[in-house]
A = this chain, B = another copy of it.
C-alpha cells in the first residue's frame, strides 16, 4: 500500500502537485486556496499550526458503493462467527445476513443494524479487533472491481493529502465510519496517523486480565460522528476549527458549514460521484452517500463541486 503513497510523491515535488486532476475550476480553486493561505506576508496567510484539513472517508477518500466497506466487513464477520451462534439461524437480523436476504435485513432497521454492529465489533480487546480488521482487509475483495478495498482509494485524493501536508497542513479523517475500523490501515494507505482519525465509536473499558492491561470493546454506542456530529467530533478531537473540508454527502453538510463559516480564507469541497463508467454515479436519490442538501447549498456557500468524471483523469491507483 505504501507504494501508492510513494508513487504520488514525485508529483507533489514536481511542477504539478495534482497530476490526476484535469485543469479546470476545481483544481484551480484548490491550488489558489493553498497558495493564498501559505503565502508568507499575504493577506490570507494562515500559520502552519492552524492549517487543519478534514476529510470524510467513505465516498471521499475511498469507494462506498455498492455498500459501505464497514458494512461488508460486519456481514462477513457475522457469517464467520455463525458457527459459534447456532441461534442466529432463527434470529433476525442474523438470519437475514446468513440467508443473504436483503429485504429482511432492510426491514430489521436501525435496531437490526446496531445488533449486527455489536455482534461483529464488540466483545474483543482493541488489539484483537485491530487484527481482525487487518486480516479481513487482506483478503476481502470489492464485488465489482475485484480488488482489495484499500486499493479502491481515490488517487486524486491521495495527491491532495500529500499536497496539503507538503504545504504544512495537518490532514484529519472525520468519518461516520468506526474510528477503530479505520485506524489500523489509515497510516499505510493515506499517510494519516491514528491520532488524526476521528470517527464513530463504541464505548471501551480498561481492564487488567491475567496481570495484563487491555482495552475491551463494549456493546454500547459512544459517539456517532455523522451530520451534526461531525463538527462536534472535530471540536472534541481536534479542538480547532479546520480551514479546509472535503466531503461527498449530506453527512458532511455540517462539517462543511462549520469549516467554511470561520474567519479568513476557507475551502469547502464536495466530491460529486458522476462517473458510472469508472466508479459510480449517484447523488440525490442514493441510500448510500446521499448528496442533496449540500449540493443545493454549494453555490451560495462557495464550495467547490468536484466532478469525478471531468475533473479527474484517474480514479484509482494503477494496479
A residues within 8 Å of B by Cβ?
A: 49, 52, 126, 170, 179-180, 183, 187, 193-197, 201, 204-206, 208, 212-213, 215, 222, 228-232, 235-240, 254, 257-258, 261
Contacts and interface: CB of A to CB of B under 8 A. Distances in A.
Given A204-B235, A204-B236, A257 B213 contact: yes
Contacts of A215: 231-232, 235, 258
A239 B196 CA distance: 9
Q: Which 7 A-B pairs have the closest CB atoms?
A: A194-B239, A206-B228, A206-B231, A183-B239, A195-B238, A194-B240, A213-B261
Contact of A258 (B52, B196, B213): B213
Contact of A194 (B187, B193, B212, B238): B238
Given A194-B238, A195-B238, A231 B258 contact: no
B213 A254 contact: yes
Nearest to A184: B239
Contacts of A231: 206, 213, 215
Nearest to A127: B241
Q: Which of A49, A215, A236, A254 has the most chain B CB atoms inside 10 A of its CB?
A: A236
Nearest to A196: B195
A238 B237 CA distance: 9
A195 B179 contact: no
A196 B239 CA distance: 9
A272 to B, nearest CB: 23
Nearest to A194: B239
Contacts of A258: 206, 213, 215
Contacts of A183: 239
Given A206-B228, A228-B206, A195 B235 contact: no
A163 to B, nearest CB: 20
Contacts of A228: 205-206
A197 B238 CA distance: 9
A100 B235 CA distance: 35
Contact of A232 (B49, B206, B230, B236): B206
Contacts of A257: 208, 213
Contact of A195 (B170, B180, B201, B213): B170
A49 B49 CA distance: 18
A52 B205 CA distance: 21
